[in-house]
Structure 1
Amino acid sequence: MTNPNQRSLKTQIYHIIKKRLLDQIYQDGQILTERKLSEELNVSRTPVREAMQRLQKEGWVQYVRNKGIIVKSMDASDLIHIFQIRTALEILAVKLACSRINSDQLQLLRLSLIQQAGKKEGTMPDYQKFILYDTEFHNIIIDAAGNMMLRSIIDEIRDKIKRTGINSLYSRKSRIAEAVTEHTAIVDALEIKDIDSACQAMEKHLDICYTSAYGYIVRPEIQKQHSAEKGDIHG
């Protein structure tokens, strides 16, 4: 029988390594070894091995013969597949939410729109704050759908998207304004319980997100441009 403490440690190591992947501490194509990871995390190799096996199943790393464990990169094809799934699931979420959303949730969505559009005090650049508000906005709709399986699946998909670094696209302030307009159309449709309009607005929003993301992935000059803009914001 597995010791509960061993299970807990394995889970902790999994989340630590996954966060480092999301934060791009471990770069695409980087070789990771169980020995080095166990030394970094001050644990035995067993929980590291189990965590890496789980991450491999989820598509974060891959085992390559004669090389070891390599951080898996995401190409344009991966992005297409991820956005196909995300779009289908979030359209389902907004469809379900349309008949179930309550006044409190609608009020939270309206507040989120104000937060997205406004400039709040704080140390984070505007685009980083927007990403937090954007995630919260979509989560309110998913929660209103009343299907928690959707939340867990979509969270995993969004993690994959975050790994690409495309969230830096929101460093372009005009994209924030565009996204707020797209979000507003979704809320307007939810308020009057217009399922068709809500689904169309969500699909349009995610199509635009995908188009921007695809350009970021396949055109290195776009990545350089947004990296420069991020530097300007931080400066």
Structure 2
Amino acid sequence: MSKLHSAAEQVYREVKERILSSVLPGGELISEGEIADEMGTSRTPVREAFLRLEAEGWMRLYPKRGALIVPVADGEAEHVVSARRLVETASVRAVTGDETARTALVRELRTSLDDQRSAAAAGDVTTFSGLDADFHRAVVRAGGNPLLDTFYASLRERQRRMTARSLARDPLQLGSIIDDHARLADLVEAGDADGFDAAVAVHMHRVHGLPLPDGGAR
């Protein structure tokens, strides 16, 4: 790998992480020069990284003005939540009759909860948003459907960004998210797919500031 390509890859990963963690929020305008200065590199690898991020839909480039971080689109949160709910509930239904798979999943979810509590106690929102995404991904992976798992993986970056944005808006949500996750783990352990479906819907809508489904209470 050439030094230029290596530098471009490093810039790409760093800037993308800042976008996903909402360190660079939607609507912010940044320049090649400021990123190059921060990362101690020339503008060429920054330009290459920006072009890649633009192709993925994370930013828009404006010659002589800079790069605009693309905000979460109108309706995107609702669509992501709807898709996640369908896939997660289907995955829980798939493990309700398999005690071994269900027990393994509950163990994994409770380990994740311990990690989430540690991140919350440290005030580490970036790590927490990743753990949040991985908690929900574990549910889907346990369902044993590789097509649904691949589809859900494609939502992970959008989910991380949405969660980080919500936590930036209201950091006090950390505790309620953990409480919700503990409730979801309990419902998986009980094999209650219908209860999980209702609880995960309320959880997702509440975290992302969306109207609660079916007139549910907050």
TM-score when scaled to structure 1? Answer: 0.65
Q: Which amino acid aligns with 2:110?
A: L
Q: Which stretches in structure 2 are left out of the alignment for 5+ residues?
A: 212-218
Number of the residue aligned with 1:230: none
Deviations 1:175-203, CA, capped at 9 Å, x for gaps: 643442233113321xxxxxxx42x3443
Number of the residue aligned with 2:216: none
Calculate percent identity across the aligned residue pairs.
Answer: 19
Number of the residue aligned with 1:68: 66
Residue 171 of structure 1, aligned match among 170, 173, 176: 173
Number of the residue aligned with 2:47: 49
Q: Is the 8 A contact 1:127 1:173 kept in 2?
A: no
Q: Is the 8 A contact 1:83 1:210 kept in 2?
A: yes
Matched residues in 2 for 1:126 and 1:83: separation?
24
How many angstroms does 1:165 deviate by? 2.7
Matched residues in 2 for 1:214 and 1:205: separation?
14
Matched residues in 1 for 2:89 and 2:81: separation?
12
Q: Is the 8 A contact 1:109 1:140 kept in 2?
A: yes
CA RMSD, aligned part only?
4.0
Deviations 1:149-193, CA, capped at 9 Å, x for gaps: 24632422322323423474653745643442233113321xxxx
Q: Which amino acid aligns with 1:12?
A: Q
How many angstroms does 1:80 deviate by? 1.2
Number of the residue aligned with 1:203: 197
Alignment of 1:16-95 (within 5 A): 16-64=14-62, 67-74=65-72, 76-95=74-93
Number of the residue aligned with 1:105: 104
Matched length: 206
How many angstroms does 1:59 deviate by? 2.9
How many angstroms does 1:211 deviate by? 2.5
Q: 1:160 to 1:201 in 2, by over 3 A?
A: farther
Q: Is the 8 A contact 2:167 2:173 kept in 1?
A: no
Q: Is the 8 A contact 1:179 1:205 kept in 2?
A: no
Deviations 1:105-157, CA, capped at 9 Å, x for gaps: 1451463487489x779952599997676545324323323435246324223
Matched residues in 2 for 1:143 and 1:54: separation?
29
Counterpart secondary structure, 2:67: strand
Q: Which amino acid aligns with 1:102?
A: A
Q: Is the 8 A contact 1:74 1:164 kept in 2?
A: no
How many angstroms does 1:208 deviate by? 0.9
Q: Is the 8 A contact 1:127 1:171 kept in 2?
A: no
Deviations 1:23-64, CA, capped at 9 Å, x for gaps: 333233221112221222122323222222232233322235
Matched residues in 2 for 1:161 and 1:59: separation?
15
